[in-house]
A and B are shown apart, each in its own frame.
Chain A
């Protein structure tokens, strides 16, 4: 069974803290994605990666960075957390060429 695992389900961080959200997939997928989901706004793409050490900005990359040192792992980094980054973050992966995206269970981040 395919699996995308997000290491933290619930986090509470202070404004200005550096935050790492980790994601691991066991399907040997080349593509990995980070989305955030907010009420009324749906899922919005933050960053994605087609391969190790490769990254591209999505629709809302400001305030975020990513790291992909290994094929199975894609990390989202909030350099200096702000309250407007309070959200549910979803990691996902897929094979090249599109098709089904497999999501993790999500990480709920609250910035106070």
Chain B
């Protein structure tokens, strides 16, 4: 069956360090992968999208990689700040011609300490 896995344990890092979050999937051939940020009690907010033919995407302090051979995406936040503390969700489309339906991972909680 289709499955997405993110680090289930919370990630605690020191301010200024790089946070790296992992998203692994099985039995999928996604056309693209997305990362969302979710703050407590709020809806997820889109951060980045990377397509199957892209290896890496950057946006300000964020970097996403997508390895379709390993079936893995890495999400990096460089020079992390306490304001980056949140839960980060990865999401994949269900495959071509699936109309934009996404499957979400459970999310990884990131805590950045000052």
Contact = CB atoms under 8 A, between A and B. Distances in A.
Interface of A: 4, 31, 33, 35, 40-45, 48, 50, 58, 90, 92, 94-106
Interface residues of B, number: 23
Given A41-B106, A42-B107, A98-B93, A106 B101 contact: no
B106 A42 contact: yes
28 contacts: A31-B99, A33-B101, A42-B105, A42-B106, A43-B89, A43-B104, A45-B101, A45-B103, A48-B99, A58-B101, A94-B100, A95-B100, A96-B99, A97-B100, A99-B49, A99-B100, A100-B34, A100-B46, A101-B46, A101-B91, A101-B100, A103-B43, A103-B44, A103-B45, A104-B43, A105-B42, A105-B43, A106-B42
A106 B45 CA distance: 12
A104 B45 CA distance: 9
A99 B34 CA distance: 9
A31 B100 contact: yes
B114 interface: no
Contact of B32 (A98, A102, A105): A98
A92 B34 CA distance: 15
Interface string B70-114: 000000000000000000010101000011111111110000000
Given A42-B89, A42-B107, A43-B89, A101 B102 contact: yes
B89 A102 contact: no
A45 to B, nearest CB: 6
Contacts of A104: 43
